[in-house]
Amino acid sequence: MTAQNALSSLNPKHPRLFLSRQRLEMLQHGTLGDPSLAALTRSLLREADSLLDARPTEFRIVGPRMLERSQEVLRRVATLALAFRASRRREYLNRAKTELFAAAAFPHWNPGHFLDTAELCTAFAIGYDWLYSDLSDGDRRQIRGALIEKGLKPGAAQQGTPAWWVSVHHNWNTVCNGGLAIGALAVADEQPELAAGIFDVALANLPLALDGFGPDGAWEAGPHYWEYTAWYSVLIMDAMLTALGTDLDLSSRAGFDRAGQFPLQCTGSSGEYFNYADSASASTAKPALFWLGKRFDLPNCIAENHRLLRLRPEATHPYDLIWYQPFPKELPVLPAAAFFGRSEVVFMRSAWNDPQALFAGLKAGSGQADHGHLDLGSFVMDASGVRWAADLGADDYDLPGYWEAGPQGRRWNYYRLNNWSHNTLVLNGHLQNPAAVTAISRLGLSGPSPFAIADLSAAYSRDVEALQRGLALVDGCGVLIQDEIAWRANSGDRVVRWQLLTNAEITLKGPEAILTKKGQLLHARILWPGEANFTAVSTYQEPPQNPNTGFRQLVLEHSESAAETRVAVLLSLRPMQAVVSALSSW
């Protein structure tokens, strides 16, 4: 279907975006029978009240971007406009107008970093559409004019070039094309040709990014970018459903029906993500979980967003109300271990809904994935409510060469982005091969001792013929990490460095170490090789890199003369033994 045909079903009335009659009635009258919805509504109004005396968001560019400012405008406009629609208090209307007029007066919307422009397109679409009937003709002209001249027209020009972001397979495609399409829907009856042109390009290219959720809902760039991409994917789909009555099957792309399960599996018992790639570790409420839970009958997603909202009720997002779903009456039991292909990540736990449970995640994949690190074979571990084996996440995006990800790219010189900082191996002092593609090669996820084995040979091909890493849960209270290395004949010194990053205190006892954090203990024991001992190593980096304050590495370094090397380390809540057997027998 062409954009022109799709737009022929445009709802001629405002609001046409997101705020259906049913949702408006729920906001205005549905809180009496649902304490959770009533609490979220109170939280929304408190946030709106806090904005009444706040200065409007100012124009400021840091480095190449003003994304935080654009997102702040979007959050403020949505909060104030929704608070007005729910309460009819005109002070919210007036403050929303002030925010919109201030952003309309920006000299430009930074189209050179088009994420910024797209977020403002979404903000202005929401403000224009939700407040339309209460705006004067002059107000409408001012808001509509800024949306068209500073957002939609520059966006249409970049789509026509086309700019690099138009057809990429990651979040820039979704946010930029999606934000433009949402803006176009707000004014499609008044600017039909402009809107149709934008929509045509967006509909042709959005599937390229949506297919990144295939085959099973994960995201190669990590959970933080899963959030961003899923958020805008759901935004454009819901905008189309409410404005046009159809999302033209965008939500039917392979894997998207399972996307809501990924952040649940990726969150450890400590409440933190396995934050691989450039992701942060904090897992907070995600309104898209309500939408995905309703659309694909995933009640655990709905329950998870309720749980996250209870943890931080002050962080209620307007779309937690717009996409609100009551807490499910029944919850299926989720599998205790799950593998996600393409991203090549596996998660396993001893129990759900238990902050004391054992949790581990292991990844393979490629450094060439969007926002990828040289973290192939890295793992994280939670137990007793503590994150023991951690990931540092991203460094400053404005570091010189941060985005040079080719084989000789400067990106790999930064500590947080290469294998020296991750819970994996360094062989002979070398970096992993940035172009390597690796995979989880074998799984045993059922039963009390789930395991996964990653074939990391390609990542270390400079030094090895083959390298396998296995990770297994042991007796519900330990994690065994075992590496088997077959060296190249010309591999030089054959030095293995095994490392675990932690912000726990480390007490060394030769081949053993005790980690202490939040009053809890974790025992680390070298099972193989027998003569090796642990050391504790600083993670400090000189500016301009992040200094990594509070973190250290537990390190095992071993020099080998034989053609093959095995390394096995057991991490456990109590002193225990584990049998070391060949990975082929797992």
Q: 10-residue block means of pLDDT along the chain (586 residues)?
A: 80 96 85 86 96 98 96 98 96 98 98 98 98 98 98 98 98 98 98 96 98 97 98 98 97 97 98 97 97 98 97 91 96 96 96 96 97 98 98 97 96 98 98 98 93 98 97 95 96 94 98 98 96 97 98 96 95 90 96
DSSP string, 241-287: HHHHS--TTGGGSTTGGGTTHHHHHHB-TTSBB---TT--SB----H
> How far is residue 475 from each of residues 444, 448, 449, measured CA to CA in Å?
15, 7, 7
> How many other C-beta atoms lie within 10 A of the C-beta of residue 470?
22
CA atoms of 233 and 552, how far apart (whole Å): 38
Virtual torsion, Cα 286, 291, 296, 299, nearest 10 deg: 60
CB 497 within 8 A of CB 554: no
Angle, CA of 203, 78 and 281, to the nearest 5°: 80
Instruction: Give the helix/strand (H/E) hosting 439.
Output: strand 437-444
Q: Are strands 451-455 and 437-444 parallel, antiparallel or unpaired?
A: antiparallel
Q: Are strands 552-559 and 495-502 parallel, antiparallel or unpaired?
A: antiparallel
CA 363 to chain centre: 15
In the three-class reduction of DSSP (H, G, I as helix; E, B as strand; rest coil), residue 348 is classed as strand
Q: Label residue 434 exposed, middle or buried (CB < 10 Å: 0-12, 13-18, 19+).
A: buried
Please indicate, yes or no, whether the overall pTM of this predicted structure exceeds 0.75.
Answer: yes
From the list 169, 248, 179, the residue with the least C-alpha distance to 213 is 169
Instruction: Give the helix/strand (H/E) hosting 534.
Output: strand 534-538
Ramachandran area for residue 63 (φ above 0: left; ψ -120 to 50: alpha; else beta): left
Ramachandran area for residue 222 (φ above 0: left; ψ -120 to 50: alpha; else beta): left
What architecture (CATH level 2) is domain 52-207? Alpha/alpha barrel (1.50)
- In eight-state DSSP terms, residue 89 is -
In the three-class reduction of DSSP (H, G, I as helix; E, B as strand; rest coil), residue 379 is classed as strand
pLDDT at 579: 85
Say which amino acid occupies 477.
C
Q: Is the peptide bond before 529 cis (omega within 30 degrees of 0)?
A: yes
Number of helices and strands in the chain (H, E): 15, 18
Q: For the sheet containing 337-340, what is the strand order?
A: 337-340, 345-349, 359-363, 379-383, 386-389
pLDDT at 577: 82
Instruction: Give the helix/strand (H/E) hosting 366.
Output: strand 365-366
pLDDT at 448: 85
CATH topology of domain 337-585: Beta-galactosidase; Chain A, domain 5 (2.70.98)
Contact partners, residue 123, CB within 8 Å, separation at least 6: 70, 73, 74, 77, 78, 100, 103
473-482: string of b/e by CB count within 10 Å (b at 16+)? bbeebbbbbb
Domain boundaries, the chain: 52-207, 337-585
CB 131 within 8 A of CB 112: no
Q: Are strands 425-427 and 495-502 parallel, antiparallel or unpaired?
A: antiparallel
| Tokens encoding 585 | 């027998």
| Tokens encoding 503 | 């912000």
pLDDT at 492: 83
| Tokens encoding 507 | 């007490």
pLDDT at 2: 67
From the list 440, 564, 553, the residue with the least C-alpha distance to 496 is 564
Q: Label residue 428 exposed, middle or buried (CB < 10 Å: 0-12, 13-18, 19+).
A: middle
From the list 155, 172, 73, the residue with the least C-alpha distance to 115 is 172
CB 573 within 8 A of CB 383: yes
Angle, CA of 72, 251 and 309, to the nearest 5°: 45
Ramachandran area for residue 137 (φ above 0: left; ψ -120 to 50: alpha; else beta): alpha
CA atoms of 404 and 418, how far apart (whole Å): 13
